[in-house]
Chains A and B, each alone.
Chain A
């Protein structure tokens, strides 16, 4: 049935009012999120995470998602300008994916679909041993994965050569590349020093004419430098500086020396074992996680005393595809809307 003209005008006005209200609500939510983000930045990552996952903020996120859906339905511009639709659909997917991948999202999946996955946690794996237990993040609760992980080896790679850090008693500091044979002048009051030798695994052998340091090729790790200090009076003294025991300082002489080796990477050589078979094998590093069975395994921490175990972070991939698809739509949308439309229009105008 066709509406009579005054009713149509009335409904058009009502719709226009509704659209305007939605825009105002969107602007209010955006401004609120600006202030919430700034507040979150001041309270630190852990508290910010709790804050943004709290009940009032859950209400906020739901309102945001609903407003995006309502906006996409009521604004005709989204049909005439598809790039805008992509941008808003992208934001919607990112938010939906984030909600789905949250702890609450995992709980919901368990209740609705019986999918029971470990959302996020850490696992400690010792060298040459197997592990399937994950300690859930922020709790002491332990869950088991449906497969086991074996750590073949854990190692730390260093940049070579390292650095010799020098500090005078007056607080003057120097940083020298630890190149063998290099001599560095520290000043008239401090003299000079020369890097004589570098050890990967420093050990001492006791012989008749005294202690003899040597580089042991056997197991162990004790990097050190042999440094010759040349005092302003011309006297020379030999000192050994150890990377793993920075507290080992010769306080009787100036200056204080430290051997520093910048870390290039942390590497865990992993195997995934399922039904007593190795199904995946990978050396994981920072930026190179292992993916298996719906979980990502990240190099998280390690045994900084003896280097005998690694700590992996285990993260479920639930909701991740939605977030990535959202990113793709968002980026595609903004470049299409703000760049490509104008570029194509300019090319078209030129060709006419």
Chain B
């Protein structure tokens, strides 16, 4: 546990508190207050990210601290986009996800400033990580909808939202191209930096496994449609579990030494 007694840390803690308060208010059916706090949390999290950007002098996506900070800042716009344009609800889950992803940035990972090592000085660095970060949020939203489906929770009819099974499918449809692009950009970058577009590195293999879970999801859903909604949802939950392993366990565990170890 690392508590940050800095402006950076303070901004992160305020954002976490705002997200958690937003979640509580929404659960207690005080929607307006929840919305306001969610938006406020986003402004503070975006401020924390901008502050970090100013300090490091480049888009901060170098290590897990910066990636989780980024994830905490993009939850709100993704949630808003999904509700307004994609008819996917579950904003209370988004508030919780935002607080959860900011937690490691606030309490676990070091915020020490570091210069970019040679391998990361590539024009593909930012698009590769940013696209993955965005896809992870969509897939997290897909998993939250899948859990709602498994728990038998559906939105009320007057909300004009998709049912959780369809919402899961829509979220995976939005996130999958980004996941694919992230994998491809990583491969192209690997070719430029290390000479191989595929190095059999643990991070690459786990990324491939997470991509394949969603490929399996699409094939299964193509075969059976909505006949087995629980199995469809299980695919999305497993996909998210594999993403969490790819993002965290691979970088932190001694089981997986590889080319991505600088990203801690």
Contact = CB atoms under 8 A, between A and B. Distances in A.
Contacts of B242: 34
A327 interface: yes
B53 interface: no
Interface string A239-278: 0000000000000000000000011111000000000000
Interface in A294-344: 296, 298, 300, 313, 315, 320, 323-324, 327, 330-331, 334-335, 338-339, 342
A33 B212 contact: yes
B162 to A, nearest CB: 13
A143 interface: no
Nearest to B212: A34
Nearest to B122: A287
B256 interface: yes
Contact of A334 (B117, B180, B212): B180
Interface residues of A, number: 50
B198 interface: yes
B209 A34 contact: yes
B205 interface: yes
A191 interface: no
A298 B174 contact: no
Given A33-B212, A338-B173, A45 B223 contact: no
Given A23-B219, A45-B200, A48-B200, A339 B177 contact: yes
B71 to A, nearest CB: 21
Interface stretch (B1-9, B10-18, B41-49, B188-196): B188-196
Nearest to B196: A315
Interface residues of B, number: 49
B216 A263 contact: no
Which among B194, B195, B222 has the greatest number of chain A C-beta atoms within 10 A? B195
Interface stretch (A4-12, A24-32, A104-112, A145-153): A24-32
A144 interface: no
Contact of B219 (A26, A264, A327, A331): A26
Interface of A: prevailing SS = helix
B81 interface: no
Contact of B176 (A52, A120, A338): A338
A334 B118 contact: no
B258 interface: yes
Nearest to A336: B177
Nearest to B177: A334
A38 B209 contact: yes
Contact of B117 (A40, A263, A296, A320): A263
Which among A27, A45, A120, A289 has the greatest number of chain B C-beta atoms within 10 A? A45
B255 A42 contact: yes
Nearest to B172: A338
Interface string A23-64: 110110011011001101110111011001000000000000
Given A33-B212, A335-B181, 15 more contacts: A24-B223, A27-B219, A34-B213, A34-B216, A37-B205, A37-B206, A40-B205, A45-B201, A262-B115, A287-B122, A298-B194, A298-B195, A313-B195, A331-B184, A334-B181
Listed from nearest, the 4 A-B pairs whose CB atoms lie closest are A286-B118, A48-B200, A41-B205, A41-B202
Interface of A: 20, 23-24, 26-27, 30-31, 33-34, 37-38, 40-42, 44-46, 48-49, 52, 98, 120, 159, 175, 262-266, 285-289, 296, 298, 300, 313, 315, 320, 323-324, 327, 330-331, 334-335, 338-339, 342
Interface of B: 112, 114-115, 117-119, 121-122, 173-174, 176-177, 180-181, 184, 187-189, 191-202, 205-206, 208-209, 212-213, 215-216, 219-220, 222-223, 242, 250, 255-259
12 contacts: A20-B223, A23-B222, A27-B216, A27-B223, A37-B209, A41-B205, A41-B206, A44-B202, A45-B258, A48-B200, A287-B119, A287-B121
